[in-house]
Every structure is written in structure tokens, then in C-alpha cells.
Structure 1
Amino acid sequence: MRRFKRVLLGVVFAVSAVAGTAGWASGNAQQPVTGPPPGAAAWSADRSLGRALPDPARAEPERVAAFFAGLAPAERRLLLERHPLIVGNLDGVPVALRYEANARAVRGTPYERLARDGRRILAFDPRGRGQVAEVYGDLATARRVAVVVPGSDTDAGSFDRPGKGHRVVAGMAKALRDAAVRTTGPAPGHGPGHRADPPGAPGTATAVIAWTGYTTPVGVGIDAATGDLAEAGAPRLARFTRGLTAVGAPRPSLFCHSYGSVVCGLAAADAHASDIVVFGAPGMRADSVADLGTDARVWAARNADDWIARVPNVELFGLGHGEDPASGGFGARRVPAREAAGHDGYFAPGTDSLRAFAAIARGELR
């Protein structure tokens, strides 16, 4: 009874906190984008190759990969030219083909900047506020892959917003990529004899993906307090990661910020991840690491002045996201974050959290 009262008080506090921000009154509830992008009907009706094409809504990434592996170059190009949005977003399609398809798809849209300067866009969906995934590094040759999963207020327009640096998902991915390929000396938790790989060594073949592949909450409102958007986004993340392994990439490590930690928690059992790192997390919709149903190593970081610590770790009546992943009882491996500042400072250059993240991305911390 005492625990129930504590949980109920926590929910009341959470409701009051959210209502106090006018989040619920601001009309910012989001409709999650699900299913394949526009053009799926034309793709499904296409018989230009003399046979049915993989169902973009249901075909497993492994089947998609096998289908494209059996196509001649001219057949691949035909599909790219006729259906760039489907080819660019279909998990299991060869990486280079997706880059080219998405470069075509973004032209003439508000997101045309994504086609400039040889950017490697692995996914692009113009629906809603827009979704995008961008690769930093060479995914085709990478020995290690990391995927950064953002929290609220992230979409195709804001994910690489100028002037925000490491505080937006593209900046986080760039900072992690830079740190992962740099000689940084001893990795956190290792002795002076353990050094990071020098540039050019096998361990530095790390690619990092900024993945804005789900509809994120806007502000601190009802969407951020419930799991609805995370429940819609988790299958998209799981499918995306399975698409990476289907084309020969290694199992990725997931770096999940804020509400992105809820998405990663719900996707954990199906995401084919080697590591799941949450930071600034309100919860993972699980009581412990064991409840996640994954064999991935699970890590958690939270600095002393992150405001997320004031959010009650409860889950009741659909509100809240459960146990604090940074608490001792959850069972996650702790990531140092003494030098990080605030809710979005974990990727700041020179911080202990970024050094640890880079070591995890390289597979040096276990």
C-alpha cells in the first residue's frame, strides 16, 4: 500500500509538472507516422521485372536483401528511378542504392539541403514533420556501427539545426564519430596500458548514424509523458537495425537520448543491438535490464544537473516510463558523466561521457 501511494503521488506530481508547462493545453499532440512512405501502392502494383516486388510494409529485411542481391544492375536502377522513396527507405536494400535513391527523393522538397555535399542519407520520409537518417563514416566497410536515437523536438527540419552543435542528433552523431576515430588514450575504466586504436587502425572503422526515424514528442506534454509515440517508433527502430545487419553491417550499438530511451527500451528485444546506451532517460518501460529481453549490454548515464532526475520514475495509467535506468537496482552498467552538463550535454567535446560513449562504440568497454 505504501508503494502504491508513492507511485500515485508520483503520477500526480508528473501530471502537475506537465500541466504546469502548458504542454497538454498547447495542442501539440502528435500523430505517429507509421507504415511505408508514399508510393507504396505504385510499388506493389509494379510488374516491370516480371514478378512481384517485396511488400514494403511486411517483407522482412533479410528477404529484401536477398531479393536485391538477385537483381541485375539495370533492374536495380529501374526500381530506383521509378520508386526512389521506397528504395531509399526499404530496410535490406543495399546501402549505396539507398543513398542515391534518397538524394533523388529530397530534391524539390523543403529538405533539399540533405542532397548537398555528398551527404549519405540512409532514410528519408517527408510525411508529417519529416524523418531522416544520415550516416557519418563508411557504413559499407565499418567494423563497428552506432545509431543515435533522439528524444523530443527532433524531425527532418531540426535534426541538424545550425548553431546547435552536439545538442541536436546530427551533432551528437558527428561528435561520437569524431571521438570514436580519434586517439584518446586510455578508455574510461581501463588502465594506462590500454589505448584507443590510432587513426586508420581496424578499430577506428566506425560509422555513426543519426536516426530520426520516428515521430518524436513536441515539448514536454502528454506525448512525452506517455509511451504512445515510443510504441509506434520501436518497431521502426528494430526494423531499421535489422536492415543494417541484413546488408552485412555489424550489430549496432544504440545511443538513446531522453524520450529516445523509451523507444530503445521497447525495441530492445528485436533490435539486434550489441549495446544499448541510455542517457538523460526518463525510463525504458521496464523494471530492470532483465525485463528488456535483450542480450545487448545495457548502459546508463545521467549527470548531476540533468533536469530529468526530477521526473518521477513511475508508470501508472499510461503515464510515466518506469524505473530509472541510472539507478542501481535497474542493473545497467554505469557510464561516467561528471563532466557533462544539463540534459543535452552528454556529447560535449572533452567530456568523460563522450569518451566513454566512443569507447563503447569501438567495442572497448564491456
Structure 2
Amino acid sequence: MRLKRTLIAAVVSLAVLCGSGAAAAGAAVSDEQVAITGPLPGTTAWHRDHALDRSLPDPQSAEPADTAAFFASLSDAQQEQLAQRYPLVVGNLDGAPVQLRYRANRIALQQAVADPRTSAALAGEYRALLRPGRQILAFDPRSRGQVAEVFGDLTAAQRISVLVPGSDVDATHYEDTQQPPRAAAGMAQSLYAQEQADSPGTRTAVIAWADYTTPVGLGADAATSRLAEAAVPRLDHLLAGLRATTHPLTAPSLFCHSYGSVVCGLAAPGIRRSHGVTDMVVFGSPGMGVPDAAKLGDGVRLWATRNGSDWISNVPYLEVEGLGHGADPTSAGFGSRVVSAAGAHGHTGYLYPGTDSLRSFADIALGRYSDVVCATGDPSCDRGL
């Protein structure tokens, strides 16, 4: 335990000492978070409901393909009845029709706003998510609040991207109205806008997937993979749900920021090549929990980038006694295709308009690999593609 405390202190100190510190100075050591993974409110009643003269799919264990087949067997009226009666269940049920999930989550958000137990801060965020045109694919009001939002037409998309954010992301820190590309919602929206600008004839969609319990500050949660491990089944289920309800030309691309790259690294071995090679892009990564890209499996094509002013570079790239996340994905020999981050600044600056990173991220999402701007240390990052 003494070694673990020493390592945590070292990680925190380094983060605080470097420049912007990602608000580390104000939240250097935090309380451990309880991962929200159990059944959603309404699940017990859902299991007992036999109004359709059949069992409803188990939200915890049903395969999304089976869930999709179940909903396809229902009439529109029956689907709407389930969404009205169990909005939190249907709104988070991978494999359920996408548009039905959007409608169910609007109901769940309205109920959360009206709930006297909802704090004023959360109620304000939920009202923002209820603005016309927003497409909420998942919503969980428990604890700090979790959300996934879609930009673009998910059901018609030829190319789908999933943005997996890092620490300190929850319902109250999902958006940044002053500098949108710093937060999960703005990152996803910026990527979507760049894709549309670069290839207006390609139907694309981007999911901001803030649907897992993230670390708060730079305490033990940020230094270990515990919360990432809890997130992996949720990410796996999302991807399985996309396979059941969408039909892109290629497997969805994953864009993994900061601690989100730990989630993606742990999820990677479960991504099967039979579903198509998945482009995985990690940026501002503290490590992925593996010694090199080969350990991610053959279903993943790994890209990585980090800008020179990102404080994460001062965090030790190591793993000792379960602390730390291993090697630097941008380092020589790791096996990543390293992308230029010219124009990006700080830990959250990678998706600002005009940056090499944003342009290259869009090119990767679109499959336009020859247009990717490689880092000077990896001038042929598009080799073999």
C-alpha cells in the first residue's frame, strides 16, 4: 500500500506541476467513484410485464441482435407503449430501434427534470439535452449522470464514429458552452462537422459516448483501470447494438481521449476482425494498459497523437502494482500510426477547427487515409492502406 500511495502521489504531483494541469491543481486527489453498472430503474417491473403475452428481453443479458429481432416483431403501437411505460429501459436498450430510443430518452429526461431529487445543476443540463433536434441514445440519471448523444443520421450513416471521453465527464461536465471542443459533446460535434465539410456526400454519424462512470480528478481512479474495466462491457454492448441496428460500410471508428484510451485498450481484444477492421484513434493518452499495439488484437488499426503542450506527457508511462497504464502509444516501437497534432494545444485541444489532428481524425473516420497528416516522427503513418 505504501508503494501504491507513493506512485499515486508521483502521478498527481507531475500533473499538477505541468502547465495547464487539466484542473489537476484544483482536484488533485479525489474520492473513489462507484461504477454505475447495475439494472436501471424500472427493470424489475419490465421483467414482470407480460402484457404482450411474451417475456421482454433482459436489459442486462440479452444479445442486441436478439433485442432487435424482438422489437422488429412488435407493432409501432406496441413499441411506443413500452417506451412510454419504461423509458429508462428502452432508452438504454442496445438493439432497440434508434428513433424509439431517442423518444424514450426524451421521456426519461423530462421525468428527471421533474424529479424533486434532481439537483438544480443536473436539471439545467437535462433541459439542455431536451432542446429540439438533440438525439439522446442513452441516458442514466443515477449518480453523476451518464449520456450518449448522436450527431447525424445514425440509421442511414455510411460511416460511424464513437468518441470515448476521459476523466471528469458526466452529465454536468458533458458540454462546455464557452469552448465546445473541450468537452465530449463539442468534440463529437466538431468531428461530425469536419467530416461533413470534407465529404458532404458521405452520410456520417458521430456518437459522444459519455455513458460510463469516469474518474474524478487525479486520484486512484485515474491511476488504475478499475473504472475502465467496468466500462468495457458497456462499450462492447454499444458496438453490438450498432451492428444490429445500423449498416455502415465499415466497422465504426473509435476516438478515445485520455482515460477513454484505457477503456478502448481493454475493449480492443474483444473487437473481432470478422466485423471489419476498426480504426482506433487515441489522443492525450496516459497509456492503454498494454505494452504494444499487437496486444490489442487483429481487429484494430491503431492511430495515436499527442501535442507538445499536453500535460499528460509528464505522467509516467508505466504500470506497477496495478497503478499506471503502461507504455506511451505515441512512442517508437509501440506500433501506432502516429498522426500530427500541429495546431492543437493542451490536453483537450485536439478537436479544435484548423488543427492537423481534427482534419486527420475526420480523414480516418472517412477512410481517406492518404490525406492523413502524419507526425514528423512517423512520416509514412498511412503505409499499407
Find the residue that maps to 1:103 and give its secondary structure: helix
Distance 1:230 1:260 in 2: 8
Pairing partner for 1:336 from 337, 340, 351: 340
Pairing partner for 1:243 from 220, 241, 244: 241
- Alignment of 1:79 with 2:82, yes or no, is yes
Contact 1:283/1:322 (<8 A) preserved: yes
Distance 2:323 2:267 in 1: 19
Distance 2:91 2:228 in 1: 23
Residue 268 of structure 1 corresponds to which residue in structure 2?
A: 268
Residue 253 of structure 1 corresponds to which residue in structure 2?
A: 253
Cα offset, 1:334, TM superposition: 1.0
Residue 120 of structure 1 corresponds to which residue in structure 2?
A: 135
Residue 15 of structure 1 corresponds to which residue in structure 2?
A: 9
Pairing partner for 2:354 from 350, 355, 360: 350
What residue ranges of structure 1 are gaps of 5+ in the alignment?
1-8, 184-196
What residue ranges of structure 2 are gaps of 5+ in the alignment?
17-24, 114-122, 370-384
Q: Which amino acid aligns with 1:173?
A: A
Residue 325 of structure 2 corresponds to which residue in structure 1?
A: 321
Distance 1:360 1:338 in 2: 17
1:49-93 deviations in Å (ceiling 9; x for gaps): 101111111111111111111111121111111111100000000
Q: Which amino acid aligns with 1:267?
A: A
Cα offset, 1:270, TM superposition: 2.6
RMSD: 2.1
Cα offset, 1:324, TM superposition: 0.9
Cα offset, 1:318, TM superposition: 1.0
Pairing partner for 2:48 from 45, 54, 71: 45
Distance 1:335 1:11 in 2: 35
Query: Could you say if the C-alpha distance between residues 232 and 10 of structure 1 is closer, same or farther in structure 2, counting changes exceeding 3 Å?
Result: closer
Contact 2:12/2:28 (<8 A) preserved: no
Matches for 1:110-259 after TM superposition, within 5 Å: 110=123, 111-183=126-198, 197=199, 199=200, 201=201, 204-250=202-248, 251-259=251-259
Identity among equivalent positions (%) equals 55
Distance 1:224 1:233 in 2: 14
Distance 1:101 1:10 in 2: 44
Cα offset, 1:128, TM superposition: 1.0
Cα offset, 1:158, TM superposition: 1.2
Residue 4 of structure 1 corresponds to which residue in structure 2?
A: none
Cα offset, 1:249, TM superposition: 3.4
Q: Which amino acid aligns with 2:54?
A: R
Find the residue that maps to 1:157 and give its secondary structure: helix
Find the residue that maps to 2:333 and give its secondary structure: helix
1:309-345 deviations in Å (ceiling 9; x for gaps): 1111111111000111111211011111122111111
Pairing partner for 1:98 from 94, 101, 112: 101
Distance 1:107 1:19 in 2: 42
Contact 1:275/1:298 (<8 A) preserved: yes
Residue 364 of structure 1 corresponds to which residue in structure 2?
A: 368
Report the TM-score when normalising by structure 2. 0.84
Contact 2:163/2:188 (<8 A) preserved: yes
Q: Which amino acid aligns with 1:66?
A: A
Q: Which amino acid aligns with 1:82?
A: R
Find the residue that maps to 2:137 and give its secondary structure: strand
Contact 1:179/1:358 (<8 A) preserved: yes
Find the residue that maps to 2:340 and give its secondary structure: coil
Cα offset, 1:10, TM superposition: 11
Cα offset, 1:24, TM superposition: 9.1
Aligned pair count reads 342
